[in-house]
Amino acid sequence: MTGMETLVQELKKYRYICYYPSSGTDLTDIDFFGSGRKLWEERRDGSPAAASSEDTPDLFLHTDINFYQEFASGADLLPNECGMQGACEVISFRELPALEAPNEIYDNFVHSGKCFEYRLRVWGLEREKTLIWCLCENEALVSKVLLPHGINVPFIWSRNWSGGKTYGTWLANVLGRLGTRKLYADWLCVPGNRGEPRNRLVEENYPDLMTPSSAKLVRNNDIHWIDEGANGWSKNTMSYSTTADGA
């Protein structure tokens, strides 16, 4: 079985996936949902997790083209250095079969395509959280894995994705096809804001990601999932619900 087939098989085990493109080593999505969707200032006090809703993510899927050593560290991962405000323990770790030369925009390095699965116990919860990290282009995962295999991603978490070659605004184009219900994002993921940058390399290499959106974003002002700026991340980042066109 190829790495692609294995990854698809693993992803289809889960119903409520939260995808975090260009995550680096950041685990704030796991911290947020693991805490029961507590706001940042509430998570900082270290109190027990709030009650979780039934549609809490059962898989966190992260991609980045770098950070191989950090991702492959296994039990040596230090969650407190990755944005976790509550307790987090690595329960198990395994390496999945690698995706073969997944990148179309960036070079394919020796570590490109490697995938790692972590089982984590967060915020003292009995039920473990599963995290799969894939070292590949965000575009490659969406175009080659998620869309063609009909894998729904109800939640997307994206913080100031302004890479050296591409920008996260194209995510809005695929929310409908991914079945995304809630996007936690800053302005860079909302087309039309602040002079949306052109994604020419995405247009050239992943034209399927640049088709017109089949969903509209509806801004929710009731939640700010980050209260501080860091590494250029904007303050007061909002969540967005999606609705089908014409709804």
What share of the chain in percent tops pLDDT 90? 54
Q: What is the pLDDT of residues 140-157, one digit of tens each?
A: 999 999 999 999 999 999
Q: Is residue 73 helix, strand or coil?
A: coil
Q: Tell me, what's the pLDDT at 151?
A: 98
In this prediction, residue 135 has a pLDDT band, given cuts at 50, 70 and 90, of: very high
Instruction: Kindly tell me if the per-residue pLDDT of 237 is higher than 70.
Output: no
Instruction: Kindly tell me if the per-residue pLDDT of 225 is higher than 70.
Output: no
Instruction: Kindly tell me if the per-residue pLDDT of 49 is higher than 70.
Output: yes
Q: What is the pLDDT of residues 211-222, one digit of tens each?
A: 988 888 887 766
What share of the chain in percent tops pLDDT 70? 86
* Helix, strand, coil % over all residues of the chain, rounded to 5: 25, 25, 50
Average pLDDT over residues 153-180: 87
Tokens 């990755």 appear where? 82
pTM of this structure: 0.91
Q: Tell me, what's the pLDDT at 189?
A: 61
Q: Tell me, what's the pLDDT at 236?
A: 47
CATH topology for 3-244 is Rossmann fold (3.40.50)
φ, ψ dihedrals at 119, nearest 5°: -115, 125
Average pLDDT, the chain: 86
Q: Tell me, what's the pLDDT at 46?
A: 76
Torsion of CA 140, 103, 12, 148, to 10 degrees: 50
Rounded to an integer, what distance in angstroms lies between the CA atom of residue 54 and that of residue 111? 36
Q: Are 185 and 237 in contact (CB under 8 A)?
A: yes
Q: Are 203 and 167 in contact (CB under 8 A)?
A: no
Average pLDDT over residues 69-79: 86
Q: Give me 49's structure tokens.
A: 């997790």
Q: Tell me, what's the pLDDT at 224?
A: 63
Tell me 40's DSSP state.
H
